[in-house]
Structure 1
Amino acid sequence: MLVYRGFSQTAHSATVLTIGNFDGVHLGHRALLARLTAAAAAAGLPAAVLTFEPHPREFFAPESAPARLSTLREKLELIADDGVDLTYVCHFNARFAALSAAEFISRVLVGALRVRHLIVGDDFRFGAGRGGDFALLRDAGADLGFQVEAMDSVTLEGERASSSAVRDALQAGRLEHAARLLGRPYSIDGRVVRGDQLGRQLGFATANIRIKHERPPLQGVFAVEVKGLPGGPHRGAANLGYRPSVHQVVRPLLEVHLFDFCADIYGAHLNVRFLHKLRDEMKFPDFNALKAQIASDVETAKAYFQL
């Protein structure tokens, strides 16, 4: 998949396009992308996605914006996995936010992306003040020569698959339900870095994984599966949070203890899949109490995997 930052280059050909934030790339997004790639194949044109960085809610109200489900890199990898040819990452700033709906259609959709067929969600709004909707797109398409198609929401047992629903499930510790909404277990990517060797002192060596999520949508202790290492995937127990008992950190830290694994993996880029929540993160009165709880967590995680 080719990725372009902004619209400095006009698309080389007409495109079949969809637009959205695609945070988490859940079942609703994946249905939209499946329809996109099918329509693109039928038309003999590239399947293209227009997405935004930062998330518009982070631009307008950073203090109240929800935690992101996926970083930009994670999102692009998931979109690529669904067969998309081109993704345009639009820098969402004051200038872009001020574009009227009509300007967005003429300058971005028609002028830059050469849209021939546009597929959007049934709740899609765009332009300054969210002034544009499906009806406006349909009318503009009739005038400017592109088709517009709306996708219905995807529901799972009566619940709409959405980023908010996934986020709520993760925050509540309902990881299995979040996985059903996503169509896969929730995961976070990161690179293994050197830590303070606390895990070794406690008898449970951990991989310290630097993540780019400033506010991850879940915290606590989990049974996990890790991809990105030879012989994997590997199972383990992970803590994601701020380590309130020892050397509390400002940024969230992901620490993973892999079962029956011993190797130097510094620098490895890993994908950690969160399968089941064991407990919330908590503060312990002393080192021995922390060590005993970690031993219990490891046994509970092994029991989850039936090891």
Structure 2
Amino acid sequence: MLKRSKSMYAYYLVWPALLIYSAFFVVPAIIGFYYSFTDWRLDRDTITYIGWDNFKRIFSDETLLLAMKNTLIFAIVTVIGKNVLAIALAVALNMRLKTRNFLRAIFYSPSILSVLVISIVFTPMLRTEGMINRMFETIGLGSFSQAWLTDPSIVIWTVAAVSIWQHTGFQMAIYLAGLQSISKEYYEAATIDGAGSWKSFIHITLPLLLPAININLMLTLIGGLKVFSEVFVLTGGGPGNASQVVGTIILRAFGEGSWGLGTAINTLLFIIVTIISIPLLIFMRRKEVAE
């Protein structure tokens, strides 16, 4: 009896957290899934089951399709940009530089700033007459000047670049932690065998950094698919609907009182995130074990 009581001790500790998680996530998710199949609106007293009508509307609305396209572009660009730059910064700042601690703090600091602060800083800089275009003109690269926040063809890429600038330092910190856990003996053995810096990076650093890569890929992918704040504060989804993402469309749907439609879009986003992230997580875990 005493042994059974001890074996159940861990479950007793988990139950409170599990109950809170269920109350604030699982139950609302189930209720939201049901309401996504209804015509739930602010201006109606009754709620009617309408089947797949909300989802059919999503895939027939050009603005909603554009928002999904922009969300995927943002996610892909930020996943690649954040991780590639973060690994490069982590490797550079893992070297014996006198100023490495200062530089680490400098590169990490944007990630602790509010998105609102970032928008206040970048919005004037990205205007047509802003500092970035003036800098290009000063150094003779005026052809690179763009309407960064008002050109429909590049606005989502601009928002992605701002997000990369802000959050790369956070990913860098995770990669630094991974690098510092790698024994220097591996590199010493590789040097003795005649391997250069690039071969050591490919055959030692990257394989042993897979746990950190796995974490960062999942964080940046899920964050990219759930993007909202950056677009909302920098462009509000404009110009027109050119930078709309799924998050801003959900806000607009709820703001217009179309709660059933907004819940359907949110449910679709949850399904997309799950379909993309779980197979990627399984694949990365297998690679991690294999290495």
* TM-score normalized with structure 1 length: 0.25
Say which one has the larger Rg.
2
More helix by share: 2
More strand by share: 1
TM-score, reference length from structure 2:
0.26
